Amino acid sequence: MKTEKNIMITMKDGVRLATDLYLPDTGQPVPALINRTPYNKDERYDIEEIEAYVRAGYAVVIQDVRGRYHSEGVFVPYEYDIEDGLTLFEWVRAQTWCNGKFGTFGLSYHGGTQWLPAMKNPEGLKAMVPVVTFDDLFNGSAYQDSAKVLHDLRWTVANIIPDIMRRAEEAGEKVTVPVPDVYNCLDKIPLASDEAVKQYGRYYLNWMQHSTFDDYWKKFSVKEHYQDITAPALNVSGWYDIFVRSTLNNYMGMRERGGSEDARKNTRVIMGPWTHQDFSGKLNGFDFGPESSSEALGLTDIKIAWYDHWLKGVPDRYDNGKPVKIFVMGENRWLDAEDWPLPDTEWIPYYFHSSGNAKQENGTLSSVRPAQEKPDTFIYDPMDPVPTVGGQVILPGEGAMGPRDQKETEIRSDVLIYETEPLKEDVTVIGPLKAKLFVSSDCKDTDFTVKLTDVDENDVSVLLSDGILRMRYRNSLEQTELMEPHRIYEVTVDCGATANTFKAGHRIRVAVSSSSFPRFNRNSNTGGSIFFEEADEYRCAENTVWHDSVNASMIILPVIRRKA
């Protein structure tokens, strides 16, 4: 392998970006695999994968994106990644060591640097492998059903600001150090108040100013442009990744609307028992078995076979005609399927029931529609939110991501619990999760959260997936509509997706509340500004979940009856 470091490639506006090459010593033109990163190309977590690509006969090209580490310019997330990516692609294709064909690879932000220029259908792009990445920078990355996620504030403070501060110091500026835990503060300081975020993360203030799906976000929306993307994608994620919905949306969107027959017929998806950062299959004391890790699956070999097919014309030995490979938790086995959602899915409503006291005496879940029942009411206090405990998050600390027992949150007075009786037989749930709620509040705006957990014989309540809805966006992500206090609204909460078999003797449990902090920012319940210095004071909300013959709240589970 031959390497060349810090080649400065000039972009259309004259800014130069630092680029490294890893070249096979073949003496012949070869296809290239390209990765663009904001995380410092000199500190690669995936060097073994890069070396495997070179051994397989690929030139590997790694570039620091604009404004990061060795590259010139100012960093604004994704703002320049379409044009800069296209410029790099053109440069690669013009090199004597490249045969004119290339693919892209990488995870998280690197997924964006694949999808965004792919929307322009660049010549020579034949295949992508976007791992744990978004389908839309607004709904699915910066926001989730218009509730502000906070992992990107943690990302800004921990991953982005330090290099911006380094550059400022080298330029002779006096820097402001960020509050390390700014995204986890419970005082009444709005998100935009941290001086370091104001100084070095101005883009983040812009993200908060654009709190609806407007033209600012639409230019970064992959899902708006599937028809323009002709390269097939091998999508990879995990059931505890922040981008579960996005990954599956990218698969479905490309299969339905991809810009070429190859993209529509051959886009694939792999979903493992993984988080955004951990593909080991061993999470927080939960071991999903010897076949659950990406290493046991042979994920790098799968990627190489994918590239070999699309860039070299070699038959893909991993292509068995079933484009969906998912890991079914509970049974701890891989399942190959014809499509997503699985074609023989039965959508079964599980209705909420209680005597009006589901926050103290657990309510029930059943397939029987409710008759006349008292609603459940709780007080949501933004100054005492339900804490985030594991799940589909990126949070610091040991055990912060992935499956966790929810017991400490489920005993709270602001959490409603509905659960089945112990199951008499296994119930396999594979697919998207939706909750249909009938709710009211004494406020103009509030949030509703829904969690799905698997409760074993020892009452360990393992989180599978969850969702949130900010009520002012219940009808549209493009404009707000405040609530009329005490009026009952029918709403749908997108709870992500899962693949899990609830074993006989276990219970299916749903928890409903109004917060999950610091996964999501807290709703002030006033209907006013939440983010900036002029934000209204927080107030408590009295929130109600209705379940009766007219207002039948439920969760709709995708049940697979056959033994797949």
Q: What are the residue numbers of the active site?
A: 108, 241, 276
255-284 burial, b for 16+ CB within 10 Å, e for fewer? beebbeeebbebbbbbbbbbbbbbbbbebb
DSSP string covering 153-216:
HHHIIIIIHHHHHHHHHHTTPPP-PPPTTGGG--SS--GGG-HHHHHH-HHHHHHHH--SS-HH
Q: What are the two backbone dihedrals, phi and then psi, of residue 10, each rounded to the nearest 5 degrees?
A: -85, 130
Integer Cα distance of 249 and 263 in angstroms: 14
Inter-CA distances, 206 with 165, 185, 223, 402, Å: 19, 21, 22, 30
Amino acid making up residue 412: R
Task: Please state whether beta strands 59-64 and 16-23 pair in parallel, antiparallel, or not at all (unpaired).
Answer: antiparallel
Task: Please state whether beta strands 427-441 and 489-502 pair in parallel, antiparallel, or not at all (unpaired).
Answer: antiparallel
Helix, strand, coil % (nearest 5) of the chain? 25, 30, 45
Per the DSSP assignment, residues forming a β-bridge with 37 are 64
Integer Cα distance of 156 and 154 in angstroms: 5
Nearest to 471 by CA among 453, 456, 488: 488
**CB-CB contact of 239 with 465 (8 Å):** yes
Integer Cα distance of 451 and 512 in angstroms: 7
Question: Judging by beta carbons within 10 Å of its beta carbon (0-12, 13-18, 19+), is residue 348 exposed, middle or buried?
Answer: middle
DSSP string covering 343-399:
TT-EEEEEEEE-SS-TTTS-EEEESSPP-S---EEEEE-TTSPPBP-SBS---SSTT
Residue with tokens 């799905």: 452
The gap between the terminal CA atoms of the chain, to the nearest Å, is 44
Amino acid making up residue 479: Q
Separation of CA 125 from chain center: 25
Amino acid making up residue 138: F
332-345 burial, b for 16+ CB within 10 Å, e for fewer? bebbebeebbbeeb
Integer Cα distance of 38 and 67 in angstroms: 8
**CA within 13 Å, CB half, 512:** 37
Q: Both tokens of residue 287?
A: 């071991």
